[in-house]
Amino acid sequence: MKRLLALLATAVLVAVVLVGLAWWQGYVSLPLGPSHRELELQLRDRGTVAVGGPLPFGLRRDQAPLVDYTRFPRLRAALEGRDGAAVVRAVREYHLDGLLVRTDRVVGPAGSVLRAMCEMRAVDGMSATYLDETAALYEVRDKVFIDLADARRLVEMVRLVLQGASPPPERLFPAPVRRAYPTEVAVILRDGREPILWRAVRGGSIGRALVDATYAVLDRWSTRQQQRYGPLREAI
């Protein structure tokens, strides 16, 4: 009887270890583990995705081939440099289907493209198709040119809407912003350099997505950040 119990205990221990290893490597998910469902949906059926930083804890690895960016020499040089165009060229050269970058820790040298990505800052030629407090998924996108003066007006428009103003009619937006161009726009609020709240919204044009993302930030602020920072119109 004791021998049978010992064998059962050994079998259970082996099973626990095997399941634990499979979970640690991201091949199975456990009910109590961290959930990355939305990110996993974004990764599903993609080709090779380069990864900047450790994989998010509990992220399943069977949705797409996830490979550390250092395995691609020219991509590594580009990400650790300061030229976003070089990153775009390297992504295309290696036929990568995205860049997954951690956003909850410092990644890459100061001033590098990789550091900008981990801080959710704009990088020429790249667009974030998914972002949260743990990771951001970037891919190469066709460039839409927005004049610098127009970009500043759009930022001011977002600021005014966050303070309570109504957005202008879409027909008043610059042509590149109002034309039909399915895209995702993120509005990010920072406390100094630290992102404290952001929302990304898809829309049929940049202008429409920008307005919707601004209202999404307003809605989220009232339920999450107001106790700490006060009313949004007074905090910005």
Going residue by residue through the chain, which has 236 residues, state the pLDDT in tens, using 9 for 90 and above: 655 555 555 555 545 444 444 444 444 444 444 568 888 888 887 889 999 999 887 888 787 899 999 999 999 999 999 999 999 999 999 999 899 999 999 999 999 999 999 999 989 889 888 888 899 999 887 667 888 999 999 999 999 999 989 999 888 898 889 887 768 899 998 887 788 888 888 887 899 999 999 999 988 887 766 667 777 776 67
- Residue at a domain's end among 140, 156, 184: 140
Around Cβ 164, how many Cβ atoms within 10 Å?
10
Q: Give the number of domains in the chain.
A: 3
Around Cβ 140, how many Cβ atoms within 10 Å?
17
Q: Looking at the structure, do residues 185 and 117 belong to the same domain, yes or no?
A: no
The range of the structural domain enclosing residue 204 comes to: 148-235
Q: Cα angle vertex 192, ends 188, 195, to 5°? A: 35
Q: Looking at the structure, do residues 42 and 134 belong to the same domain, yes or no?
A: yes
Q: Looking at the structure, do residues 54 and 132 belong to the same domain, yes or no?
A: yes
Q: Looking at the structure, do residues 106 and 165 belong to the same domain, yes or no?
A: no
Q: Looking at the structure, do residues 154 and 99 belong to the same domain, yes or no?
A: no
- Residue at a domain's end among 103, 120, 140: 140
pTM: 0.56
Q: Residue 116 is encoded by which pair of tokens?
A: 């900008």
d(CA 95, CA 97): 7
Contact (CB, 8 A) for 107 and 52: yes
Alpha carbon 91 to chain centroid, angstroms: 17
Q: Looking at the structure, do residues 188 and 227 belong to the same domain, yes or no?
A: yes
Q: Looking at the structure, do residues 27 and 52 belong to the same domain, yes or no?
A: no
- Residue at a domain's end among 140, 171, 197: 140
Q: Looking at the structure, do residues 129 and 153 belong to the same domain, yes or no?
A: no
d(CA 4, CA 22): 27
Q: Looking at the structure, do residues 3 and 46 belong to the same domain, yes or no?
A: no
Q: Looking at the structure, do residues 124 and 77 belong to the same domain, yes or no?
A: yes
Alpha carbon 106 to chain centroid, angstroms: 14
Q: Looking at the structure, do residues 42 and 109 belong to the same domain, yes or no?
A: yes
Give the residue ranges of DSSP H helices in 80-147: 84-93, 113-118
